[in-house]
Amino acid sequence: MSFCHSNMFNSNFAMVRPSETAMFLLLVAFVAPSLASNILYPVETESRELRTLHGLWNFKISPLSNQLIGFDEKWYTVRFETLGDYWKMPVPSSYNDVSTNSTIRDYVGWSWYQYEFYVPKRWTDDQLNVFLRFGSVHFKSIVWLNGQLCVDHEGGHLPFVGDATRFLKYGEPNLIVVAVNNTLRPDTVPQGYTKFPNNTYKYPNGYRIYSHEFDYFDYSGINRAVHLYTTPKSYVCDITVLTSFENNYSEGVVDYKVDICGNNVSQCNITLLDTNRNIVVESNTCSGQLRIPNVIPWWPIMSGKQHIAYLYTFQVKTNNENSDYYRMRIGVRTLQWTTKELLINDEPLYLRGFGKHEDSIIRGRGYDDALSARDFYLIKWLGANSFRTSHYPYAEETLQQADSEGILVIVESAACNLRIFGPDVMKFHKGVMTEIVNRDKNHPSVIMWSLANEPYNNIEVSVPYFRELYQHVRTMDPSRPITFVNSQQIQNAKAIEYMDILTLNRYSSWYSDSGHLELIQHQTYNELEAFTKKYNKPILLTEYGAGAISGLHSLPETMWSEDYHVTLLQEHFKTFDSLILNKIPILGEMIWNFADFKTPQEYIRPGLCVKGLFTRERQPKMAAYVVKTRYDTFRNNSPWPNPSLNCV
């Protein structure tokens, strides 16, 4: 999405000056919008070619005292080798932890990437469209090809696409330049603040203090894949599927809509294939319904079914001279929610998992196939069935793997600790949610939308805000429950009554009543029961846990030791079992966090949040073995564990 903010530099930088550069930046959103409806994941087919622009890019940062120098000197038109003072930076990766330079690690402002590449001459001979797609750039980005403005986007963690066809030089060297600004503002999601303290005794004149509302390190740069891909002039640009069952779940129903962009083509051939590439059903319309006899439903892991995570292939072929082909894997499943339960394919779900972070050494938030594969192996080793994309949408590749592994996902927006509510934030937040739903709507693994994490919903203005945002998302997707994660006390929590499911973060005997493990069962049981009775909705505990420094032991247990971490979890397990036994509508238990992750520098943490079941290097702590024992006692995805469970 492209937003234009007239206060762009007032809120971020000390210097404000009317200039051609500033006017250029204000006009960018109008002349180079992202192709918001053209966001299908790039795939290679018989009609499409696909290549990545991964590797070591040239990288520069603008001095804080002259943030607009790159625009004034038109860095987007010259090779950085001629300018000097640049670094090599891998893409995809966050830039913060790659070098040994603390200025780059902590940099907030305009950074610049540049890369040279070739494309084949036949792409223009064949009269193909060529699109440039970024999986995620954090936070605001402006992209030039060969000195020409191609596309801009604001908002991290989500993809955007520009039409590169007319900007490329075919059979010749091409220069791509990306300007990236990771400065957050009060009107963005998430929110950030820039202040200039009026205290020259303590701070130098013009000193800038930048802060944000969340407690994870704000990794920045080109964090996900950069693709070039081709299509015919008429091409498939969006697909929407909605699945259901009939005839006692023996027949699958796929309602679908395919959007074709380009020339006036309105006819499609639709083919649904099974895992052996056999044709299941066909259609010759771009919008309609497919009926699947003897359907194999998509079931999550540990459902006890013969087929887990079964995926069909939805194949589209445009019906014209130069046909476009696109294939997408889909699962046939339904979701329902009541005042007591969350059900998949009419069977109750009990979520066992955690919040995660896209975080690793050196790469930061940069997507990495090896790390993602390791995480999924660990998820399955634990016996977990779910995770939340705390606190932002994760890479598309992660959701694709969740689809194929049968792992359930709550997709959360980047609205972490939202403090300021108003029309500007609402506009931005709606845009973010629109992009999230458009991107992730067809994933069977995605079972819930989370609008925000721990907002300041103790103030009255949050009520109309979340009510309106809920309706915005509900209009786009009628098939999934919607929530936001509450951390307010029951007497202060507002707006949660408009959500479908209650979600709660609580840290008994850690942030509150620190060290008092004996209070966990009493406090957690009473509070979860009170929420469900007051709002007549089921509740999911989305965060609970404790910090544990790997290798630190204490007998008897003390805070920060692995022993304390284990006991705290075991006390919660007892509470969950009591809630289940007494039929309190609890939907699951999600630990904070899957693995240790980097935080901003502060005296209360050693550079990391150490609440992970695994270290940042993905090795298990004591707690991981205890959680594995707990999760392995569940026979399936229902809330009923093995009766022999003993949580002592």
Q: What is the pLDDT of residues 57-92, one digit of tens each?
A: 999 999 999 999 999 999 999 999 999 899 999 999
| 116-119: long-range contacts, CB 8 A cutoff, minimum separation 24 | 116/79, 116/173, 116/174, 116/175, 116/176, 117/53, 117/173, 117/174, 117/176, 118/171, 118/172, 118/173, 118/174, 119/168, 119/169, 119/170, 119/171, 119/174, 119/228
Between 635 and 309, the higher pLDDT residue: 309
Catalytic residue from among 213, 412, 454, 571: 454
pLDDT at 164: 97
Instruction: Report pLDDT digits (tens) over 201-251.
Output: 999 998 999 999 899 999 999 999 999 999 999 999 999 999 999 999 999
* Annotated catalytic residue 341: no
Q: Which amino acid is at 62?
A: S
pLDDT at 642: 56
Please tell me whether the peptide bond between 139 and the residue prior to it is cis, using omega within 30 degrees of 0. Answer: yes
The β-bridge partners of 419 are none
pLDDT at 214: 92
pLDDT at 16: 34
pLDDT tier for residue 391 given thresholds of 50, 70 and 90: very high
Instruction: Report pLDDT digits (tens) over 164-202.
Output: 999 999 999 999 999 999 999 999 999 999 999 999 999
Nearby residues of 155 by Cβ (< 8 Å), 6 or more positions away: 1, 139, 140, 188, 189, 414, 428, 431, 432, 435
Instruction: Report pLDDT digits (tens) over 106-135.
Output: 999 999 999 999 999 999 988 999 999 999
pLDDT tier for residue 420 given thresholds of 50, 70 and 90: very high
pLDDT at 35: 63
pLDDT tier for residue 635 given thresholds of 50, 70 and 90: confident
pLDDT at 36: 60
Using the predicted structure, report yes or no on whether residue 4 has a pLDDT greater than 70.
no
Using the predicted structure, report yes or no on whether residue 8 has a pLDDT greater than 70.
no
> pLDDT averaged over the chain?
93
Quick one: residue 645, left, alpha or beta (phi over 0 = left, psi -120 to 50 = alpha)? beta
How many Cα atoms within 13 Å fall on the side-chain side of residue 391? Answer: 27
CB 451 within 8 A of CB 501: no
Element (H, E) at 102: helix 102-105
The 8-class DSSP code of residue 150 comes to E
pLDDT tier for residue 31 given thresholds of 50, 70 and 90: very low
Percent of the chain surpassing pLDDT 70 = 93
Rounded mean pLDDT, 448-452: 98
Cα first-last separation, the chain: 51
CB 574 within 8 A of CB 521: yes
Edge-to-edge strands, sheet with 160-163: 50-52, 226-231, 129-134, 160-163
Where are the alpha helices (H) located in 582-637, listed in sequence order?
A: 622-632
Instruction: Report pLDDT digits (tens) over 587-622.
Output: 999 999 999 999 999 888 889 999 999 999 999 999
Rounded mean pLDDT, 339-364: 97
Which has the closest alpha carbon to 237: 328, 338, 119? 328
pLDDT at 37: 65
Using the predicted structure, report yes or no on whether residue 2 has a pLDDT greater than 90.
no
CA diameter of the chain: 77
